[in-house]
Amino acid sequence: MRMQNLVVNFPVATNWSRELGPYIWASRLFVVAIGACLMSSPVPAHGQAVDASPSTTSGVRAQAQLVVGGQSVKNNSKGILSVVGSSLQFDADGKKVAVEASSILDVSTDKDSRQDITGAAHLAAEAIPYGGSRVLSLFSHEVDVLTVEFRDANGAYHGAVFALAKGQAAPFKKQLVALGAKTTAPPAGPAPVNN
């Protein structure tokens, strides 16, 4: 009985597959097309620097956390930090903070602060166990810290502290200094190339 059924059903199955063949191919093509779109879309990984769009930005751009000092943006907001035109911008939850590079009184990274310890003090600090050598760091060494001090149009003094993925603060500092921001610890090397 079973064999009979198979013999009887086989042509039916073949006809079914023949009839649906174009649909299956279409669905496969659709899946491949979706996959290609997803692979080519510019969605960044967590903490990864995002390439700037040449039409809107003139320099570096990265995911960051505004630790303190955002006027309209809440402290500890996560967003995108970028240099747009001649200003530093932070976008988070549809709100934006922008600081003109020329109004920046001092731009620094946490690496600059550690350079303040030199000589014997540095050696002594290095000898402290349990990470005690990290004398001048507000945050973990897993992140970079970018600190910006500036005056607004009314002359009022402001400060903002951003936490970025490791190695990402220095390019911002170089770019801002190249755009006219002041700094007490000049960056080493040339500013990053504009996109």
CB of 71 to other proteins, least distance (A): 10
Nearer to other proteins, 15 or 102 (CB): 102
Cα–Cα distance list, 31 to 18, 21, 27, 28, 39 (Å): 21, 16, 6, 5, 12
Name 1's Cβ contacts closer than 8 Å, sequence gap at least 6: none
Among candidate residues 54, 84, 72, 94, the one with its CA nearest the CA of residue 158 = 72
CB of 169 to other proteins, least distance (A): 11
Amino acid 39 reads: M
Residue numbers of the site for other proteins (CB under 8 A)?
67-69, 106, 108, 110, 112-113, 116-117, 130-132, 134-140, 145, 147, 149, 151, 154-161
Nearer to other proteins, 81 or 161 (CB): 161
CB of 191 to other proteins, least distance (A): 20
- DSSP state, residue 75: T
Nearer to other proteins, 116 or 126 (CB): 116
CB of 166 to other proteins, least distance (A): 16
172: exposed, middle or buried (C-beta count within 10 Å: 0-12, 13-18, 19+)? buried
Nearer to other proteins, 94 or 155 (CB): 155
